[in-house]
Amino acid sequence: MKDASTANIDKFKDPAHTAKGEPRAHVALSDPQTLWFNTGTLCNIECLNCYIESSPENDRLVYITADEVTEYLDQLEARNWGVAEIGFTGGEPFMNPQMIEMTRRSLARGYQVLILTNAMRPMMRPIVREGLQALQAEYGDRLTLRISLDHWSARQHDAERGAGTFEKTLEGMRWLRDTGIRMAVAGRTMWDETEAQSRDGFARLFRTEGFDIDAHDPGMTVLFPEMDLSVEVPEITTACWGILDKHPTQVMCSSSRMVVKRKGAARPSVVACTLLPYEPEFDLGETLEAAERDVSLNHPHCAKFCVLGGASCSA
């Protein structure tokens, strides 16, 4: 297998054309539905294949603040994007000390809120649980926590996230179940099983635990394709839409943007995609107005995850 430095070495260089000189596909922000905030790349664990390289030491993206979130919520209204959902990802969002307040402000504006979490110790701190209970009591099912549960078995999940993490995540999910907080799950397709086998495995687990999660609903149990830069992937040309029977509106950057705050930066900025927070060519500027421009599908993740994999981080 080719390594990450050579697998796509001649590709994804020119935002306008592929390595063969064909016009590269691009995507317009045609129907904004989700505005994401990266709460910071610090995480309580370090996973084997984390696409954003989150860890207890990685602070390349620093904690965003509630006031900065409010500024972008104001911009949403001013630009009239029509967004329905605010998403929070990390790192582990509940390591950010203002996570509950950011969630409260988003819910108070009338948005649905989706938080991606491993449901482990940061979420289970008493002050966080108290905050989540208060939010659930006031806003009910407008708040959803999507739990990172890579596989329905402890053996496979722990191989990715570390020994004992499966049980710790289940402890958090049991608390969410008993508290009445709406849950979804994000798994992976990195194991040698069909999608049907994977969903059946999750269904058995959910029944055993009494989790009100539909394993066969792709919006409630999301199975993400792997983003392995060592695998050669094709570039997406304008002709691919017809060949693949796809449409640009099916790709995540047609309906979402993400706000990040880089270490040392005075202000947050908006990036095209939740998967590409570090790449400068996908930084669209500091404002939502600047971020309304088209996105060139000039990265392996664009092909493997979004176009060919058909995946989306949003609900």
pLDDT of residue 312: 57
Beta partners for residue 188, in sequence order: 224
CATH code at 29-230+249-295: 3.20.20.70
Enumerate the domain spans of the chain. 29-230+249-295
pLDDT of residue 1: 33
Q: Which amino acid is at 29?
A: L
Local confidence pLDDT in tens for the 315 residues of the chain: 334 446 677 899 999 999 999 999 999 999 999 999 999 999 999 988 888 889 999 999 999 999 999 999 999 999 999 999 999 999 999 999 999 999 999 999 999 999 999 999 999 999 999 999 999 999 999 999 999 999 999 999 999 999 999 999 999 999 999 999 999 999 998 778 999 999 999 999 999 999 999 999 999 999 987 766 677 888 999 999 999 898 999 999 999 999 999 999 999 999 999 989 999 999 999 999 999 999 999 998 888 778 887 655 555
Asked if 267 contacts 286 with a C-beta cutoff of 8 angstroms, the reply is yes
Q: How far apart are CA 39 and CA 210, in angstroms?
A: 30
pLDDT of residue 187: 95
277: left (phi over 0), alpha (psi -120 to 50) or beta: alpha
pLDDT of residue 4: 46
pLDDT of residue 6: 64
Spell 207-242 as b/e; 16+ CB within 10 A means b. eeeebebbbeeeebbbbbbebebeeebebbbeebbe
